[in-house]
Structure 1
Amino acid sequence: MTALKTKFMINALALSIGVANYTIKGFELDNPFNDSEDVSNKLKTLGFNVIECPDCDRVTMGDKI
C-alpha cells in the first residue's frame, strides 16, 4: 500500500454483514457466511478496520454499530 493511500485510510472502518435468514422469498444467498468473510478479508487488505457480523439479526447489527 502506498504511503498516500495509508495516510487517508488510517481510520477507515467497515461493517461486514452476512444474513442467511431472509424472510422474502427469492433473496436467499447460497453461502452468506463465506460471502461475508470474503468481503471482510478484501476490505482488510485495502486497509479497512472491519467489524464482522456473520448471520446477524437486527439486534446484533445494532450492537455492532
Structure 2
Amino acid sequence: MAEPELQLVARRIRSFPDFPIPGVLFRDISPLLKDPDSFRASIRLLASHLKSTHGGKIDYIAGEWPG
C-alpha cells in the first residue's frame, strides 16, 4: 500500500534546481497541499513512518484521520 501512495505524493512535489541560489534544490509542495488525495496520502505515510520508528508509542498525530 505504501508504494502507490508514495508515488502519488512524489508526483505532486515540484523541484526547482538552483533556486533561490545556485546549488539549492527547492521543493514546492503547494500542489500536494491542494490535492486532497495526495495530501491525505502524505499524512498517512508520515504517520506510518513515525509510528514504526517510535515503537508505536505515538497516540495521535494532528491531521491524521483515524482508520
**Superposition TM-score tier, normalisation by shorter sequence:** 0.3 to 0.5
TM-score, normalised on structure 1?
0.35
Question: Which is bigger in relative contact order (C-alpha 8 A, separation at least 6)?
Answer: 1
Higher strand proportion: 1
